[in-house]
A and B are shown apart, each in its own frame.
Chain A
Amino acid sequence: MKLNAIYKYQLVDHRNAVLIFCGVILAVMALVPMQITFSSDILTTNQSSQIAGLDIAPAVFLFVCGLNAFKDNFLFALQNGISRKSLFVNRICVAVTLAVTMALFSLLLLALGKLIESPLSGIAYSSLLSMIYQSPGIASFSGLSEYLISFLFLTVLFIAAQALGYLITVALYRMNKKQKVSYIVGFYIVVFVVLPIIDMFISGQISTILAKFLDISMGISAHNPFIGMFSLIIFSIIATGLTWVLIRKTGVKN
């Protein structure tokens, strides 16, 4: 009963944001063909529109959802006699639910994209999956397999995005003001100033290594989305584990 309630509560907490987000994305999808239909001489200008990787938007959106999913829910759970453990377990369930929902939504977008895609309209729609992994002759996705692999890949990606957002917000909650400021500022300085400068002096070795790491872990050059899924799952598990370590002993702050 109570476990149900905290699951339901956390899910309902996201409901409005999810609905608005889906509405906006659908509107964007609808605008593209409309713009082409109504702009005057399409046939003469040979203008074409590309909708590519629209499903990265839900990943960003869910990352932000993860960022907003801790503090209020944590306090509300404590007010209602829910332990950190139950809150956390149910948070994972909510994250999976949201990931599956948004992955299904992305499949809907894919279907719609296919529908409006034609040489005549000049619209080309490509999913995130085909954008990253497709390569003529080596890997191509079409038909049912594109939907199925997209669904699996996006679900895992969305779970990872939320896990990262949730970890960051929990870490920030654990810090006091001073720590927060120094960590955020420090992070930006290191990532956007220190590393690029060092990188410059060692002729881009850092960025090369990073790119290589990303390539291998995501299976991009291998054109294998399952390697990417595996890495994302490992990442989610590590992030979630760290989050639990941070939540386990957290108290209400004054």
Chain B
Amino acid sequence: MNGIQINDVTKTFGDTLALNQVSLTFEPHKIYGLLGRNGAGKSTLLNIITNRLFADSGKITIDGLVSVENDMTQGLLYLMSEKNLYPESMTCNEAFKWTKQFFKDFDLDYALNLAKQFKLNTKKKIRSLSTGYTSIFKIITALSVNTPYVLFDEPVLGLDANHREMFYRLLIEKYSDRPFTAIISTHLIDEIASLLEYIMIIKNGEILVNESCESLLRKGYSVTGAIKHVDTFIADKEVIGEDVLGGLKTATIIGSINKHTLPDGIEITNLDLQKLFIKLTNEE
């Protein structure tokens, strides 16, 4: 069985339940978005998959093999984590050199080329880089490592808009050139939603949503129009968000819609994922 299978994984830190019986499947050659607020359990999940932490119970297999303490399965994964695990005094160049020793498919020329594109000074020590450039260093390594599974934990942390766009572009290019499974944990959904094939939303250690991006978008819609019109229209519907701007009102609604019965003066657009995300992950 190919892919990453997560079965009933539970993890606690002291009294805190970080993951509660989580079961998920990541299929080969797909791009996944792992969304959740800070502390929802995203990083914990990624750390358990990559053998950095141990689950209290449950099982994870990678291409059918148990992932715990297994050099072979771990060689199929690369996690660019928020936490820096590179030694204090290591320079980017040294890190690239060593990564090549550990991952035989690491493409050093490509990495150096990306470094040039991002204007990363590879002679610098990793720990001396700014937050943005630390992210860039990690992104470059993750995009050059060529493992079948690449996990990105908050990849765009500290990046400006230009660099974020570059990352998205490079990710697509890499993916087209050499398909792999990308799992991207983030809370900036709008920017990345169009890249994602599947979306998983995690809240308080539990999986709230696990669906293809397309079907998630079909779950609801937004309507815009004069306040009065919109109010009558949404009266009997499940509304998850309302915005008023001047006399105009936009409401985000869960449910399907019959376009032919749409009253005059109301315009319909796709569900706003960021709003859905905020609504779903809000503490009640």
Q: Which residues of A contact B (CB under 8 A)?
A: 1-6, 8-9, 72, 75-76, 78-86, 249, 251-252, 254
How many angstroms between the C-alpha atoms of A75 and B104 in the bound complex?
20
Majority-rule SS of B interface residues: loop
- Please list 21 pairs of residues, one from A and one from B, whose beta carbons are closer than 8 Å in the complex, sorted by A's number: A2-B75, A2-B102, A6-B102, A72-B87, A75-B85, A75-B86, A76-B85, A78-B50, A79-B79, A79-B81, A79-B85, A80-B99, A81-B51, A81-B74, A81-B103, A83-B51, A83-B70, A84-B69, A86-B71, A252-B83, A252-B85
How many angstroms between the C-alpha atoms of A52 and B74 in the bound complex?
50
- The answer to whether B87 and A82 touch across the interface, beta carbons within 8 angstroms, is no
A1-B104, A6-B102, A79-B79 known; 18 new pairs, CB 8 Å cut-off, are A2-B71, A5-B98, A76-B86, A78-B50, A78-B51, A78-B52, A80-B102, A81-B51, A81-B74, A81-B77, A81-B102, A81-B103, A82-B71, A82-B74, A83-B69, A85-B69, A252-B47, A252-B52
For window 54-103 of B, CB contacts with A under 8 Å fall at: 54, 69-71, 74-79, 81, 83, 85-88, 98-99, 101-103
Q: Which residue of A lies closest to B77 (CB)?
A: A81
- How far is the CB of B257 from the nearest CB of chain A, in Å? 45
B208 near A: Cβ within 8 Å?
A: no
Instruction: Give the 8 A-B CB pairs with smallest separation, nearest first.
Output: A81-B74, A80-B102, A79-B85, A75-B85, A5-B101, A251-B53, A72-B87, A83-B69
Q: Which residue of B lies closest to A13 (CB)?
A: B87
Q: Which residue of A lies closest to B98 (CB)?
A: A9
- How far is the CB of A195 from the nearest CB of chain B, in Å? 35
How many angstroms between the C-alpha atoms of A9 and B52 in the bound complex?
19
Contacts of B87 in A (CB 8 A): 72, 75-76
Q: Which residues of B contact A (CB under 8 A)?
A: 47, 50-54, 69-71, 74-79, 81, 83, 85-88, 98-99, 101-104
- How far is the CB of A7 from the nearest CB of chain B, in Å? 10
- The answer to whether A78 and B69 touch across the interface, beta carbons within 8 angstroms, is no
- How far is the CB of A204 from the nearest CB of chain B, in Å? 46
- The answer to whether A81 and B78 touch across the interface, beta carbons within 8 angstroms, is yes
Most buried by B among A2, A80, A83: A80
- The answer to whether A81 and B86 touch across the interface, beta carbons within 8 angstroms, is no
How many angstroms between the C-alpha atoms of A2 and B147 in the bound complex?
14
- The answer to whether B74 and A5 touch across the interface, beta carbons within 8 angstroms, is no
- The answer to whether B50 and A81 touch across the interface, beta carbons within 8 angstroms, is yes
Contacts of B74 in A (CB 8 A): 81-83
- How far is the CB of B43 from the nearest CB of chain A, in Å? 9
Contacts of B99 in A (CB 8 A): 80
Q: A81-B77, A81-B78, A83-B74 are in contact. Are A9 and B101 (CB under 8 A)?
A: yes
- The answer to whether B69 and A252 touch across the interface, beta carbons within 8 angstroms, is no
Contacts of B47 in A (CB 8 A): 251-252
Q: A1-B104, A5-B102 are in contact. Are A72 and B88 (CB under 8 A)?
A: yes
- The answer to whether B71 and A81 touch across the interface, beta carbons within 8 angstroms, is yes
Q: A2-B102, A76-B86 are in contact. Are A83 and B53 (CB under 8 A)?
A: no
- The answer to whether A80 and B50 touch across the interface, beta carbons within 8 angstroms, is no
Contacts of B70 in A (CB 8 A): 83
Contacts of A5 in B (CB 8 A): 98, 101-102
- The answer to whether A252 and B78 touch across the interface, beta carbons within 8 angstroms, is no
- How far is the CB of A252 from the nearest CB of chain B, in Å? 4
Q: Which residue of A lies closest to B90 (CB)?
A: A76
- How far is the CB of B76 from the nearest CB of chain A, in Å? 8
- The answer to whether B85 and A78 touch across the interface, beta carbons within 8 angstroms, is yes
Contacts of A80 in B (CB 8 A): 98-99, 102-103
Contacts of B104 in A (CB 8 A): 1
- The answer to whether B101 and A8 touch across the interface, beta carbons within 8 angstroms, is yes
- The answer to whether A251 and B52 touch across the interface, beta carbons within 8 angstroms, is yes
